[in-house]
Structures are given as C-alpha cells and as structure tokens.
C-alpha cells in the first residue's frame, strides 16, 4: 500500500467512525408531560407527541417514549440510511411500555386507511417495545407499511383490539403492502411480536402482500383472530405480479384462528407467495393448520419448504396445499417434510390430516402423523392432486388395538383402508412406517433428503 492509499484508508476510517458514533448518540425523548415546542433532546425537554419525533428524528437516532398512553395515529416521515444507521422508536421503560391508543381516532393515514403507525416508502426504521391498541375502523391496522424500502424491523410489539373489520376491509394487526414493481420491500423483520384480539374479517392478522422479499417473520405469537393468522400473498389483481417471496417464517405460535365467515382460516397461509421457508412453528386450535395455496387463477405458488412444524388439534385438516378449485392457481415444487401432525380434523370433516388439490410435483416426506380416532390420513383430489409424491411418513394409528389396516387414505376417487392397500394400489408411501401410539412420544423420522433451504437474510440476534 502506498502512502496515498494509507491516507485515504485513514480518512475513510475516520469518517465512518466519526459519523457512526456521532449519530448513535443522538437521542430524543417523548413524554406525556412533554411539549412539542421543546428540543426533544433530554427527558426534561421532551416532546409531547410521537408524531413530532416521527417528523424530526435524524438517521441513526433513538427516540425514547416515556410510559403512558398516547392517543395518536402516526405517520413516520423520517428514515435512517446505510451510512448513519436506522432510526429506532422504543419505550423509555421497557417494563412499562408506552401505549399508542386508537380510542376515538379519526385522523386517517395518507392512503386513506386508519392506522396507529403508518410507514410509506421508507427504510431503516426500528419500531420496538410498544403496545398498540384499541383502534376501530372498517379498514385499519396497528402498523401499516406501504411501498418499497429496506430494513424495517418491528420487534416486541403488543398489538391488540384492532376492531371493526368487514367484507370490504379488515381490522388487522400488521399489514405490509407493496405494489411498486421496481422497488421491493426487502429485509423486513417482524420478530417477537404478540398479536391478539383483532378482527381482520375478510383479511388477515399479519399480512405481507406484494413485492416483498428476504423477510423474516419469527418468534411471534398470534391468537384470537376472526380470520387468517399469518399470510404471505402474491398475485392479487391490484398488487402487481411480484409477490411475497424468499422469506423465512419460523418459531411462530398461532392459535384460536377462526374465520367469521367460512370456518376455514389457516393459522399460517401462503396465497401465491413463493420460495418461503415455513419451519418450527406451532399452529393449533384453529380452523386449519398450515395452508399453501394460490387463490388467483393462473398464479403458481412454488418452492415452499414447510418443515418441522407442530400442527395439532385444528378443526379441519392440519396441512393443506393446492389451489382449491378450477378457478384458482396451483402449488408446485414444494416440500412438506418432518412436520408433526396430531389430532387434526377435530370436527370430523372426514378430510383427515392432509388435504391436496390442484397441486403437482410436490413432496410429502417423513412427517409424523397421529390421526384422530377416525384414522383418516389424507384426502387428495382426483383431478388435480395425484401427481405428488408421498413417502416415509411415520403413522401412529389411533385406537387400542389399531394397526396399519385402520388407516384411511382418500386418494382421488378411491378410498383405501389400510396402508398396505394404499401402497399396493398407488405405489406411494412404499417406505412408510407404522408405529404404536402407545409408545408415547413421537419418534421423529430421520432427515432423509436434504432440504432445499433457500439462503436468505438472517438478522443478527440483537437484544433490546
Ligand atoms: C449523517 O449524519 C451527519 C451528522 O448528523 C449528517 O451531517 C449527514 O448529513 C448524515 N448523512 C446522511 C446520509 O444522513
Ligand atoms: C372517546 O369518546 C368517548 C365518548 O365521547 C369519551 O367518553 C372518551 O373520553 C373519549 N376518549 C378519548 C381518549 O378521547
Ligand atoms: C411511494 O412510491 C410510489 C412509487 O414510486 C409513489 O407512487 C408514491 O407516490 C410514493 N408515496 C409517497 C408518500 O411518497
Ligand atoms: C420477547 O417478547 C416477550 C413477551 O413480550 C418478552 O418477555 C421477551 O423479553 C422478548 N424477548 C426479547 C429477546 O426481547
Ligand atoms: C419446478 O420444477 C421443475 C423441475 O422439477 C422445473 O423445471 C420448473 O422450472 C420449476 N418451476 C418453478 C416455478 O419453480
Ligand atoms: C385418538 O383420537 C382422539 C380424538 O379423536 C384423541 O383424543 C386421542 O388422543 C387419540 N389417541 C391417541 C393415542 O393419540
Ligand atoms: C389389525 O386390526 C384389524 C382391525 O382392527 C384386525 O382385524 C387385525 O387382526 C389386526 N392385525 C394385527 C396383525 O393385529
Ligand atoms: C394389490 O393390487 C392388486 C391389483 O392392483 C390386487 O389384485 C391385490 O388384491 C392387491 N393386494 C392387496 C394386499 O391389496
């Protein structure tokens, strides 16, 4: 390295550290005792409204919000950047988080919907440790993110009582919509949030819809919703061709998800998304467990890897994939592996644990399946379901002396009673095993094929 390069490196290092340190130290305060005419830079000179901070905070700063209830609907007008870092909005006292309440709220966001926090075309924002509650409207959200951008993180949010959704719009906890085809919304993280008691009605509690990639929806709890829990959407007519894709959905727990209008809401649903890994989630006591589909005609959902989820005690099937009729899309090239399906179809719809329709070239491998007393394993559609591969499942027949002959497979127009009859007739499941329920714990099958896990953005573990 010659002298000039050394000097250049020195200058760059100086600049990077100087600005990085300078901006990380910029703090702002919002307190219920504050005043928006203050500087906002100390606790005694705190601002009164979160909106003031959302209009003034500079890149790299942290906005601390004191305890108390803030009656605001906020539009975030600022953003961070790669050079100076993200802007963080968080509670001053994490054990006594600030509450943003929508009680009597009427001030709509720029897009006309009503939201507690609204973000459009912004990047580098962290929203952490806040409670968002009590909003009422026919189309409203706790947090609504619209448009393209990168690196938005929602962590440790408690969002509840977002109410009043109907057929034309939902009352949702978190909605992320991007119809911009040129700029994706990338590296979105929604982690460790608790979402409950909302009325998404014909929409979903947590939804990613449109041009959204490299996302991570992890460690969230979603419960008591009157429609779908978590949804990844692509192909809606007004949203452009690009859908939610190349993302991770891991370690979420979803329960008490019951549609108010058709009793078939899944805890976790993909509607036309692609290349999404859905793993290690638990879904129970809902209308259905995990469903991969494509509601819009001509749309294909592909490249999904659904693995190691624990899906149990749902009213209808535990695992469903495919477009559900001729008017819908298709599901292809996806893998459903090493999931644990237990006592689904509680309402005895006679469909069993797994339902397949309008889907092809998918692989269902090495799942552990403990059916309810009816012992119905699967229902596969005659017209659009037979071209998929099932193998190496572990079956646990239900009943004191039950054995393989009790298992029921609805395969196209035929019903097979007994695993051997099914194997013989279809050449599926040739390496399945039948184990005794009495053995107690599920013996997980070993991993028999390499998961085509996509490599995506993984956030660094960060404590707040
Ligand atoms: C980064 O922060 C410094 C100091 O506040 C400011 O002068 C500069 O304009 C900022 N740069 C960007 C890209 O935000
Ligand atoms: C909301 O409106 C009701 C009825 O007018 C009133 O009693 C209540 O105090 C209002 N709440 C807030 C936070 O403004
Ligand atoms: C967001 O970006 C889209 C696409 O460029 C643009 O149409 C829209 O007006 C932008 N919204 C705002 C609030 O800047
Ligand atoms: C995740 O959320 C829970 C419940 O709000 C909280 O107790 C826990 O501290 C959070 N975990 C992290 C790593 O912040
Ligand atoms: C599905 O997989 C086949 C190979 O099995 C491949 O030719 C095709 O391009 C894939 N389609 C999609 C949409 O991934
Ligand atoms: C058999 O199914 C019933 C529900 O139909 C369930 O309660 C029971 O736990 C199952 N038995 C075993 C051993 O899994
Ligand atoms: C399996 O179960 C069937 C029906 O319950 C019974 O008839 C048959 O004897 C059992 N077979 C064995 C090997 O226990
Ligand atoms: C196997 O299938 C053949 C016809 O495909 C049938 O004749 C035979 O009875 C079947 N055996 C069993 C055990 O189901």
Please give the residue range of the domain that contains residue 43: 27-439
What distance in angstroms lies between residue 80's CA and the mean position of ligand 4's atoms? 25
Mutate to test the pocket of ligand 3, among 111, 120, 146, 242 (most ligand atoms within 8 A of CB): 120
- Which residue owns the Cα nearest ligand 5 atom 13? 302
Residues in the chain with pLDDT < 50?
1, 3, 7-11, 13-16, 18-19, 21-23, 440-464
Q: What is the pLDDT of residue 328?
A: 86
Q: What is the pLDDT of residue 452?
A: 41
Report whether 182 contacts 213 (CB < 8 A). Answer: no
Q: What is the pLDDT of residue 327?
A: 81
Query: What's the CA gap between 424 and 69, in Å, rounded?
Result: 65
Q: What is the pLDDT of residue 4?
A: 54
What distance in angstroms lies between residue 104's CA and the mean position of ligand 2's atoms? 6
- Per cent of the chain over pLDDT 90 is 83
What distance in angstroms lies between residue 78's CA and the mean position of ligand 6's atoms? 55
Query: What's the CA gap between 31 and 45, in Å, rounded?
Result: 9
- Which residue owns the Cα nearest ligand 2 atom 2? 104
Residue 12, domain member (yes or no): no
The CATH number covering residue 345 comes to 2.160.20.10
Report whether 133 contacts 159 (CB < 8 A). Answer: yes
Query: What's the CA gap between 172 and 200, in Å, rounded?
Result: 5
Residue 244, domain member (yes or no): yes
| Closest approach atom of ligand 5 to CA 333 | 1
- Beta-strand relationship, 354-356 and 376-380: parallel
| Closest approach atom of ligand 6 to CA 398 | 1
Ligand 6 touching residue 398 (CB < 6 A): yes
Q: How far is CA 206 from CA 151, 177, 225, 272, 301, in A?
A: 18, 11, 10, 16, 19
pTM for the full model?
0.92
Q: What is the pLDDT of residue 133?
A: 98
Query: What's the CA gap between 396 and 370, in Å, rounded?
Result: 5
159: Cα within 13 Å, side-chain hemisphere:
37
Q: What is the pLDDT of residue 343?
A: 97
Report whether 352 contacts 345 (CB < 8 A). Answer: yes
For all residues of the chain together, what is the average pLDDT?
A: 90
Q: What is the pLDDT of residue 2?
A: 53
Residue 445, domain member (yes or no): no
Q: What is the pLDDT of residue 3?
A: 46
Label residue 354 exposed, middle or buried (CB < 10 Å: 0-12, 13-18, 19+).
buried
Ligand 5 touching residue 452 (CB < 6 A): no
Residue 10, domain member (yes or no): no
Q: Tell me the pLDDT tens digit for each residue of 257-311.
A: 999 889 999 999 999 999 999 999 999 999 999 999 999 988 999 999 999 999 9
Domain count, the chain: 1
Query: What's the CA gap between 212 and 186, in Å, rounded?
Result: 6
Ligand 1 touching residue 86 (CB < 6 A): no
Q: What is the pLDDT of residue 331?
A: 96
Residue 2, domain member (yes or no): no
Q: How far is CA 363 from CA 174, 328, 375, 392, in A?
A: 32, 21, 22, 11
Ligand 1 touching residue 16 (CB < 6 A): no
Query: What's the CA gap between 30 and 404, in Å, rounded?
Result: 65
Residue 35, domain member (yes or no): yes
Query: What's the CA gap between 463 and 451, in Å, rounded?
Result: 30
Our CA dihedral for 58, 64, 69, 72, rounded to 10 degrees, sits at 10
Residue 13, domain member (yes or no): no
Ligand 1 touching residue 121 (CB < 6 A): no
Mutate to test the pocket of ligand 5, among 234, 334, 361 (most ligand atoms within 8 A of CB): 361
CB atoms within 10 A of CB 290: 30
Q: Tell me the pLDDT tens digit for each residue of 29-78.
A: 999 999 999 999 999 999 999 999 999 999 999 999 999 999 999 999 99
Residue 203, domain member (yes or no): yes
- Which residue owns the Cα nearest ligand 3 atom 10? 121
């Amino acid at each position: 390295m010659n002298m000039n390069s050394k000097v250049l490196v020195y200058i760059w290092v100086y600049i990077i550290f100087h600005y990085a340190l300078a901006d990380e130290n910029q703090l702002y305060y919002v307190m219920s005792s504050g005043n928006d005419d203050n500087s906002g830079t100390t606790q005694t000179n705190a601002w009164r409204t979160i909106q003031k901070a959302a209009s003034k905070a500079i890149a790299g700063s942290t906005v601390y919000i004191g305890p108390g209830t803030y009656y605001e609907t906020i539009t975030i007008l600022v953003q961070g950047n790669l050079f100076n870092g993200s802007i963080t909005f968080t509670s001053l006292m994490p054990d006594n988080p600030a509450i943003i309440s929508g009680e009597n709220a009427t001030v709509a966001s720029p897009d006309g919907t009503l939201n507690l926090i609204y973000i459009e075309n912004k990047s580098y924002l962290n929203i952490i440790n806040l409670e968002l509650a009590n909003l009422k409207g026919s189309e409203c959200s706790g947090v609504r993110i619209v448009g393209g951008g990168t690196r938005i993180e929602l962590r440790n949010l408690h969002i509840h009582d977002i109410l009043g959704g109907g057929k034309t719009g939902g009352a949702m906890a978190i909605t992320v919509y991007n119809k911009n085809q040129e700029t994706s919304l990338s590296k979105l993280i929604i982690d460790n949030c608790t979402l409950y008691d909302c009325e998404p009605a014909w929409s979903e509690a947590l939804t990613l819809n449109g041009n959204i990639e490299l996302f991570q929806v992890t460690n969230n709890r979603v419960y008591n919703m009157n429609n779908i829990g978590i949804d990844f959407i692509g192909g809606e007519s007004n949203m452009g061709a690009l859908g939610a894709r190349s993302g991770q959905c891991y370690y979420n727990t979803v329960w008490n998800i019951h549609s108010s209008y058709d009793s078939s809401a899944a805890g976790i649903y993909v509607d036309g998304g692609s290349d999404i890994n859905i793993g290690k989630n638990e879904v129970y006591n809902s209308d259905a467990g995990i469903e991969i589909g494509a509601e819009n005609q001509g749309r294909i959902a592909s490249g999904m890897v659904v693995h190691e989820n624990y899906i149990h005690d749902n009213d209808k099937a535990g695992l469903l994939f495919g477009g559900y009729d001729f008017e819908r899309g298709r599901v292809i090239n996806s893998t459903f592996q090493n999931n644990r399906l237990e006592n689904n179809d509680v309402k005895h719809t006679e469909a069993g644990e797994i339902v397949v329709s309008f889907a092809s070239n998918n692989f269902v491998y090495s799942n552990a399946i403990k059916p309810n007393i009816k012992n119905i394993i699967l229902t596969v559609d005659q017209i659009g379901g037979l071209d998929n591969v099932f193998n190496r499942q572990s079956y646990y027949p239900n009943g004191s002396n039950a054995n393989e002959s009790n298992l029921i497979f609805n395969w196209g127009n035929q019903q097979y009673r007994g695993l051997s009859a099914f194997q013989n007739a279809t050449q599926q499941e040739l390496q399945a095993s039948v184990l005794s329920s009495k053995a107690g714990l599920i013996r997980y099958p070993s991993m028999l094929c390499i998961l085509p896990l996509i490599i995506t953005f993984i956030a660094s573990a960060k404590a707040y």
